[in-house]
Amino acid sequence: MREHHGAGESHLPAQWPDAVVMARSTEEVAEAVRIAHRLCVPIIPYGAGSSLEGQIHAPFGGISLDLSQMDSIMAVNPEDMDCTVACGVTRQALNEHLRDTGLFFPVDLGAHASLGGMASTRASGTTTVRYGSMRDLVLGLTVVMPDGQIIKTGGRARKSAAGYDLTRLMIGSEGTLGVITELTLRLFGIPETAQSAMCSFASIEEATETVVEALQCGLCLNRIELADAVQMNAINRYSGTDLPEQPTLWIELTGSSVQVAHDMALLRDLAEGSLRFDVAETAEAASKLWRIRHTALYAARALRPGIKGISTDVCVPVSKLPACISAILEVIATTSIVAPLIGHVGDGNFHLVLLHDPARPDEVEEARHINSNLIRIAIEMGGTCTGEHGVGLGKKPYLEAEHGPALDVMRGIKRALDPANIMNPGKIFDL
């Protein structure tokens, strides 16, 4: 139990908590936090254990507060297109529950994650280009503060100008300012139609140019994903497919059928220079097309069996993608690392899977060298070290470069709200 709670899916070495506490209600969370506060023991909120950067690790020991049993869906309001859920509900469970309402919650990521964890790490995913990230889709929260006080932030109104935005302050704070126990979320109507296409280009530049134009035209993009030639090669090997080993876009348009048909025709025009533009004509074809996309990570890992790799996570202004990618490919070429690329190109966010053997110090150093150079390049281009995975322990060394003196403002807030530093200590930044 302690081992499981101190590692999750991160590439970092496990750091076990001293104990695991299972909480079943906000009141139980508050009770646990009050005791920890009195005894000055670290509290590490634990949702589904899917975080990638060591957010659930216990570098100072303490209590892993497992919230996975807080899985009730308290309210669904179809008229207002919102719902209130406990933090341990997964996005899959919520969408399953919503199935007959015609509504859905759109944040769509690779992991089987809890909604509380997704808020804590400001998660996003393939549909962020259309619907935004957790930052945009949470209306209100219940939070247990570091002294055990229970507060409510936000509410059910679609907007408010009433004071500081504590909801957004808690989102992305990775459990360092309190424990999110309940969330009120925006929901959306399931669009009438979806149509998907796959499209290869001679270069990343040409693919990106098509994306920029599609965004400027306001096409009804639901997803727009990019893979590079290395990733396409990995997919062909893994799936036995014969896809062009060229930069490739997966695109999904959703909306009314007239709109989708109109926008798909426009997209085909925009992608005029593409090598190949395949529209999925049936639901099965679309589903096959997206299945290929979803195997990308496994296909990448299969290039070096038994190796997990680090997933980088920079995000830059979309127009900077080609320059950012070509700069990092030059760095990668000076190493022995194989690094397939896949990304949420509509947001400027991409992942390189840095395949390396953690037992080989030379490869570890090469992976670190690539990641730190990538982050430097992204920050120089006005981007960020992490688009969606969060900071945890893994990205801490890069926050000073990204935020400069703003990092001290973050520290000031942390000290004010958690003077004893019991809430997930050592994460995001050192005090």
Q: Contacts with a second copy in 56-115 (CB under 8 A)?
A: 77-82, 102-103
Check residue 117 for interaction with a second copy (CB under 8 A).
Answer: no
Check residue 347 for interaction with a second copy (CB under 8 A).
Answer: yes
Check residue 156 for interaction with a second copy (CB under 8 A).
Answer: yes
CB of 138 to a second copy, least distance (A): 11
* Collapsed DSSP state (helix, strand, coil) of residue 217: coil
**Separation CA 192–CA 125 (nearest Å):** 22
Which of 157, 285 has the CB closer to a second copy?
A: 157
Selected range binding a second copy among 164-172, 232-240, 268-276, 326-334, rule: CB under 8 A: 164-172
Check residue 430 for interaction with a second copy (CB under 8 A).
Answer: no
CA nearest 45: which of 31, 27, 58?
A: 58
CB of 413 to a second copy, least distance (A): 6
CB of 244 to a second copy, least distance (A): 26
Report the site for a second copy in 123-152 (rule: CB under 8 A): 123-124, 128, 132-133, 135-136, 145, 149-152
**Separation CA 332–CA 330 (nearest Å):** 5
Report the site for a second copy in 188-207 (rule: CB under 8 A): 188-189, 191
Which of 43, 103 has the CB closer to a second copy?
A: 103
CA nearest 57: which of 17, 102, 19, 109?
A: 17
Extract the tokens encoding 423: 């809430």
Which of 12, 417 has the CB closer to a second copy?
A: 417
Check residue 382 for interaction with a second copy (CB under 8 A).
Answer: yes
Check residue 16 for interaction with a second copy (CB under 8 A).
Answer: no
Contact characters 208-227, a second copy, x per CB under 8 A: ----x--xxxx---------
Check residue 395 for interaction with a second copy (CB under 8 A).
Answer: yes
Report the site for a second copy in 290-329 (rule: CB under 8 A): 313, 315-320
Residue environment code for 366-384, b if the CB has 16+ CB neighbours within 10 A, otherwise e: bbebbbebbbbbbbebebb
**Separation CA 426–CA 332 (nearest Å):** 31
Which residue of 161, 269, 305, 333 would you call a contact of a second copy, by CB under 8 A? 161
Residue by residue, DSSP assigns 134-160 as HHHHEEEEEEE-TTS-EEEEE-SSS--
Residue 41 Rama label (left phi>0; alpha psi -120 to 50; beta): beta
CB of 6 to a second copy, least distance (A): 22
Which residue of 50, 90, 222, 349 would you call a contact of a second copy, by CB under 8 A? 349
Check residue 348 for interaction with a second copy (CB under 8 A).
Answer: yes
Query: Who contacts 399 (Cβ-Cβ below 8 Å, separation ≥6)?
Result: 385, 391, 407, 428, 429
The CA angle 261-279-253, to the nearest 5 degrees, is 50
Extract the tokens encoding 395: 């990205």
Which residue of 39, 74, 409, 431 would you call a contact of a second copy, by CB under 8 A? 409
CB 67 within 8 A of CB 49: no
Contact characters 254-293, a second copy, x per CB under 8 A: -xx-xx--xx------------------------------
- Taking CB atoms within 8 Å and a gap of at least 24, the contacts of 374-378 are 374/312, 374/314, 374/324, 374/328, 374/331, 375/312, 375/314, 375/401, 375/402, 376/401, 377/314, 377/324, 377/327, 377/328, 378/314, 378/315, 378/316, 378/324
Report the site for a second copy in 410-429 (rule: CB under 8 A): 410, 412-413, 415-417, 428-429
Check residue 160 for interaction with a second copy (CB under 8 A).
Answer: yes
CB of 178 to a second copy, least distance (A): 9
Token pair 């194989």: residue: 338
Token pair 């003196």: residue: 405
